[in-house]
Amino acid sequence: MTRAISLHHVSKAYTRGVRVVDRLSLDIAPGEFLVLLGPSGCGKSTVLRMIAGLEEITEGDLLLDGEHANDLQPSEREMAMVFQNFALYPNMTSRGNIGFPLRIESPGEDSGPRVDATARMLGIEDLLDRYPRQLSGGERQRVAMGRAIVRQPSAFLMDEPLSNLDAKLRSHLRAEISTLTRQLGVTTVYVTHDQAEAMSLGDRVAVLRGGVLQQVGSPRSVYALPRNVFVAAFIGTPRINLLRGLIRAPIDGAMSINLGRQYLRLPEPLSLDHQLLRVQQGREVIVGLRSEAIRIAKPASARPGEVPISGLVEHMEFQGHEVLVHFNTGSQPAVVPDLEAPYPARAIRRRRREGTVLDRIRERAGALRAGPVVVLDDPHDAQPDPPAPTAQESRLPGDLVVRSTPDIELRLGMQIPLLVDLAHLFVFDQHGDRISPASARLPDLEE
């Protein structure tokens, strides 16, 4: 039996009133593999523990198969949890660890057949008589998973089960977990801060930041249409290029995005998404370009929708199958200062500006929904000069990272022609919300 899990406006606050999870609403279908993704400390494990019953819910409702479950004891929820640190009993063999839940649930029954069947499923039959100290990290994690599987639970809750393993073993076990959960057809909620795990494992990915749900969707949709700058920057390797730009939309001229020393001229006739950018005339925005949206080529070889710029080679990273080339295009990067922090930086208080009431409501709503991911400098506000870059920031090479094949010979200091595919251009407003491409549908009022 598998289980549907629903969280309705769930919050978790501790004694000082700090909300580590804030009004989270999420529906998980029976048999679905959902990944909770976000930086360390953003509330992912707290959500998992509230589902398991190990943490009390401060506000909101947890529904299991449509029934209110806030007050159910953990043992009554029929869920199995796999922890990051294996949590095996050192004085028990693998057989004893796997069979321990069965001995607690049914003391008089013989657990041997189910333990053996579980061990065969995981390929650890020859490890059943060994103690945890005699096992490698990957073998211990398989035993921990066996202890969860043998109970035949209605849901698996996995709290970063692979983070203590080396990269090669992590990749191997990731494939095993994906295959195993699909064979069993059990609802799975998987917590990780590793976006590669999230993209390869999940039917859907829910991105958290500061305890607030930023976006939920299939891995493909979250990558292709990130709702805000944080999601765009957190998902994808290498990290998306984020540049500060200024929209220029003259009545009698071509529309463009000024990047400082260079500009992106939007081809005519303008696409619907680019037409909608006219309302941003004269405003500073954040331009997002993934590395695959740019290629090294001369302007003469431009395809429809590609526009030329150039860059100075500052650094190259050889990856074997490809090279990541860092270019200096004279643009100013848009920094997401709290990208790896569990909670957003406190918003800067600004003076109220002239504008309609509706404008101020929209601005406030944007900040509340996603948090102030990036707030670009406002020319109407008198702000102190920004702090000088740290030594680490000053060492960051270039402002644009481009994928290239290893057969292209480049040297540091070379000026290289580049082509930007505007079909893969993201534009975000000063709060970090995506404004282009526009949403395919109007958002619900509750979003």
- pLDDT tens digit string along 180-198? 888 889 999 999 999 989 9
Does residue 243 register a pLDDT over 50? yes
To the nearest 10°, the Cα dihedral for 160, 161, 163, 164?
A: 140
To the nearest 10°, the Cα dihedral for 233, 236, 241, 243?
A: -30
**Structural domains in the chain?**
5-229 (3.40.50.300), 240-379+396-436 (no CATH)
Residue 276: Cβ-neighbour burial (10 angstroms; 0-12, 13-18, 19+)? middle
Q: What is the pLDDT of residue 209?
A: 92
The whole-number average pLDDT for the span 269-291 is 90
Helix-helix angle 167-184:137-149, to 10 degrees = 10
Does residue 363 register a pLDDT over 90? no
- Residue 394 C-beta-side C-alpha neighbours within 13 Å: 5
Closest to 426 measured CA to CA, from 269, 236, 251, 250: 236
Does residue 372 register a pLDDT over 70? no
Q: pLDDT for 21-77, tens place per residue? A: 999 999 999 999 999 999 988 899 999 999 999 999 999 999 999 999 999 999 899
Q: What is the pTM of this model?
A: 0.83
Does residue 3 register a pLDDT over 90? no
Sign of the four-CA dihedral 208, 17, 85, 89: negative
Rounded Cα distance, 214 and 149, in Å:
31
Q: What is the pLDDT of residue 434?
A: 93
Q: What is the pLDDT of residue 207?
A: 96
DSSP string, 8-26: EEEEEE-TT--EEEEEEEE
Closest to 143 measured CA to CA, from 124, 168, 159, 129: 124
Rounded Cα distance, 256 and 208, in Å:
34
Q: What is the pLDDT of residue 378?
A: 44
Q: What is the pLDDT of residue 371?
A: 47
CB 204 within 8 A of CB 217: yes
User: Which of the two residues, 309 and 171, has the higher pLDDT score?
Assistant: 309
Closest to 328 measured CA to CA, from 350, 308, 316, 311: 311
Tokens at 212, concatenated: 């607030």
Rounded Cα distance, 194 and 220, in Å:
16
Q: List the beta bridge partners of residue 427.
A: 287, 436
DSSP element (H, E) containing 98: helix 94-105
